[in-house]
Amino acid sequence: MRRVIGPLVFGVVGVAILVSLGTWQLQRLALKEAKIAEIEAMIGAAAVALPAVVGPGDRYRAVTVAGVLTGEAVYKLDSLRGQGPGRRVIAVLETEGRRVMVDLGILPEGDTVTLAGRISLTGNLDMPQETDSYTPAPDGDLWFARDVPAMAATLKAEPTLIVAGGPVVDGIVAVPVDTSSIPNDHWNYALTWFSLALVWFVMTLAWMWRIRRQNQRAG
């Protein structure tokens, strides 16, 4: 009997830990799905005027704005699915005495456009966090990730980025804000933990069966 207690406790504790980890991932899945639903509601809400002060709580807010493109811009290396490489156009828009940035979308490689004149657009405020310690420094006006504060400093604009929800300038393909880039792998993680729990349970049963057989032979 003593030979059984140790393996039994080891097996029960292991299964309990793995099941608890899987349950935790399911809880995180529910929270993430609720957050994504909240963001999607914010993206699809009726557009409002650009807030006087934009804060973290305004991310994804739908806004409408009109103004004049100054011709100043930076470009992020990007690509269009099925069409190849391009450059994401981050331009300066002067509106009601403010200089804000507008993400107009992706300009296919080799194409050129004029970023000047009065426009109006409806889109969403965004604060993308695409940079890390491995992101190369900008090469002139070509950037390798959207860095709102740094781009704003370069363009002498306020750190406010509006992503166009549809075409604004001919030749530039709009890339509206959506939730596709928000990671949500908690279901896969939960399945992994529950699968490991099942494997642990089966191995424990096999271990117990082996001990029982050894006891029978010894008896």
List, for residues 143-183, the tens digit of each pLDDT value: 999 999 999 999 999 999 999 999 999 999 999 999 988 88
* Residue 68 bridge partners (DSSP): 94, 118
Q: Does a structural domain hold residue 104? A: yes
* Residue 70: partners with Cβ closer than 8 Å, 6 or more residues away: 91, 92, 93, 94, 99, 115, 116
Q: Are residues 129 and 201 in the same domain?
A: no
* Residues whose CB is less than 8 angstroms from the CB of residue 144 and which lie 6 or more positions away in sequence, other chains included: 76, 77, 135, 136, 138
- The domain tally of the chain equals 2
155 and 102 Cβ atoms separated by less than 8 Å: no
Are residues 134 and 67 both part of a single domain?
Answer: yes
Cα separation values, 87 from 121, 127, 192, Å: 20, 19, 39
Confidence of residue 219 (pLDDT cuts 50, 70, 90): low
- Examine residue 116 and state whether it is found in any structural domain, yes or no: yes
**11 — pLDDT class (breaks 50, 70, 90):** confident
CA distance 57 to 62: 12
Q: Is the pLDDT of residue 62 over 90?
A: yes
Per-residue buried b or exposed e for 8-47, using 16+ beta carbons within 10 Å of the residue's own CB: eeebeebbeebbebbeebbebbeebeeeeeebeebbeeee
Same domain for 116 and 32, yes or no, is: no
Residue 56 placed within a domain: no
Average of pLDDT values for 114-128? 94
Residue 83 sits in the same domain as residue 113: yes
- Whether 85 and 120 map to the same domain: the answer is yes
Confidence of residue 52 (pLDDT cuts 50, 70, 90): very high
**70-102 per-position pLDDT tens digit:** 999 999 999 888 778 999 999 999 999 999 999
160 within domain boundaries? yes
> Domain for residue 49, yes or no?
no
**Domain check: are 71 and 155 in the same one?**
yes
Q: Are residues 27 and 71 in the same domain?
A: no
Range of the domain at 93: 61-164
Same domain, yes or no: 129 and 190: no
